[in-house]
Structures are given as C-alpha cells and as structure tokens.
Amino acid sequence: MSSEEVTRLLKKAYGDELETVMNYLTNSIVLDGVRAEEIKESLQADIQEELDHAELLGNRLKQIGERPPGSEAFTANQSSLQPPADSTDVLAVIDGVLEAEQDAIATYRSLIDAAEAADDPVTEDLAVTILADEEAHRTEFEGFRKEYASD
C-alpha cells in the first residue's frame, strides 16, 4: 500500500465523521418519546467526539501535505442513519448508529494497515486512537440494542 491509500482513507474517514455529526445531531433533535431520551443524550454527547475526530483527521491531512475535502467533494453514504419517518422509532436510529460504527471501525482498521504499510506511524497511531473510541460507541449502542430487543 502507498501513501495515496493513506490519503484516500484519511479523506474518507474525515467525510464519514462529518456525516455522522450531521446525522447524530438530526436524530438527537427529531427523536420523540420517553424511551428516546437516553439515546438522544448519548447522540448529543457523541457529536463533539465525532467532530473532534474529523478535526484530528483534517489536521493529519494537512500535516502530510494534503487538504481535507470541502462540502463539494462530499458524498453522503449513511442511508441507514437518516432520521426515521416515525420520530418514535428509536430502534431504527440505534441500528443506524451500529451500521455507521461498523463502517467506521472497518475504515480505521484499513487505515491502520495502510499506514503501517506506508511506514506512517503517526497516522497509524491516530487511527488506533480513534478506532478505540468507535469501538466504545459500538459497544454502548449494542447495549441499547439488547435492551430494546428484550422489550
């Protein structure tokens, strides 16, 4: 793998993090119902962390002589994380978060491999750090999923 693959994955992760911020924010606003409150609070707490990830990735791109992509280069991919038509469908949001987290985890694992192959330990370390956060988010929402599945 080359530094071009590292750059491609950094840009993908950057866009994915920003899309996640948008979808977490929207879902934290539109969800309704007593059962939605804990999910909304979790999404709101995760917004800043996801935004921090995007900032770290953007800064890393700049450090390696690249530019983070702007909105015109953005392509939305998180169809499962779109706000549900039924604002009380908390389970749809939980499932959307789990899918987004799985995608993020796969991206960061690929970035770790690409950075290692390109002899880029700084990017590798950054990806490992963010991967740990994404795995923690996934675990939290897997717990929410279990709780909703048992009801």
Cβ 93 vs Cβ 84: under 8 Å: yes
148 pLDDT band (50/70/90 cuts)?
Answer: confident
- Whole-model pTM? 0.94
When pLDDT is cut at 50, 70 and 90, the band that residue 44 belongs to is very high
Distance CA 4, CA 144 (A): 38
What is the rounded CA–CA span in Å between residue 62 and residue 37?
38
User: How big is the chain by its Cα radius of gyration, in Å?
Assistant: 16
Check pLDDT > 90 for residue 106.
Answer: yes
pLDDT-based confidence at residue 150 (cuts at 50, 70, 90)? confident
Residue type, 123: T
Sign of the alpha-carbon dihedral angle for 91, 41, 81, 86? positive
Question: What tokens were used for 63?
Answer: 């450090």
